[in-house]
């Protein structure tokens, strides 16, 4: 990916690109989270899985296939978003997926949330945001 030098005159255009990129990444996180739920649903249907039978299930289990298709779609969209935006801005947005997955897990699988788990997720999201600050522009 080529990174052209950006002059001050391009600032408004950059801001518009940025919000477009952020919107796209939010969509990515939602797709990714939906994918995770499908993958978990698929994993739950596996009976006495071995590594090999799990590998084969990627090609035969509709839920796993659907989950990983969403994941692939998310990856493609993310690459498009990266063309428009700075990684340092987009990275923290990506970690939103941890929040969606936690919420959806409670809804679909009756996971139990507690303060420690929530604190952990918030800490991870913060960590990814801080880490992303130093990503290439």
Partner 1 sequence: MKTPVESMLLVLAGSFLGSIGAGFLKAGAGKLHGGLRYLFLNWKLALGVAFFVGSSVPYVLGIKKGQLSVLYPLVSLSYIWALVWARIFFKEKFTRNKVAGLCLILLGILFVGLGNR
Binding site for partner 1 (CB under 8 A): 36-37, 39-40, 42-44, 46, 49, 51, 54-55, 57-58, 64, 68, 95, 98, 101-102, 105-106, 109, 111-134
> Residue 69 CB, nearest distance to partner 1 (Å)?
13
Question: Shortest Cβ distance from residue 21 to partner 1 (Å)?
Answer: 19
* 19 vs 75 by CB, closer to partner 1: 75
- For tokens 């993958």, name the residue: 39
C-alpha 137: how far from its chain's center? Answer: 20
Cα 75 to Cα 25, 31, 59, 65, 90, distances in angstroms: 10, 10, 19, 15, 13
Nearer to partner 1 (CB atom), residue 30 or residue 54: 54
Q: Contact 94/28 with Cβ under 8 angstroms?
A: yes
What's the CA gap between 116 and 123, in Å, rounded?
A: 10
Give least dist CB 63 to partner 1, A: 11
């Amino acid at each position: 990916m080529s990174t052209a030098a950006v002059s001050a005159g391009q600032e408004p255009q950059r801001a518009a690109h940025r919000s477009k990129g952020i919107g796209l990444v939010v969509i990515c996180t939602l797709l990714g989270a939906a994918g995770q739920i499908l993958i978990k649903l698929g994993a739950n249907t596996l009976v006495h899985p071995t590594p090999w039978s799990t590998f084969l299930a990627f090609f035969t289990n509709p839920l796993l296939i659907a989950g990983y298709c969403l994941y692939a779609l998310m990856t493609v969209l993310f690459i498009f978003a990266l063309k428009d935006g700075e990684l340092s801005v987009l990275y923290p947005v990506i970690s939103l997926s941890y929040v969606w997955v936690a919420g959806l897990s409670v809804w679909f699988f009756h996971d139990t949330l507690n303060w420690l788990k929530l604190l952990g997720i918030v800490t991870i999201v913060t960590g990814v945001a801080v880490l992303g600050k130093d990503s290439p522009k």
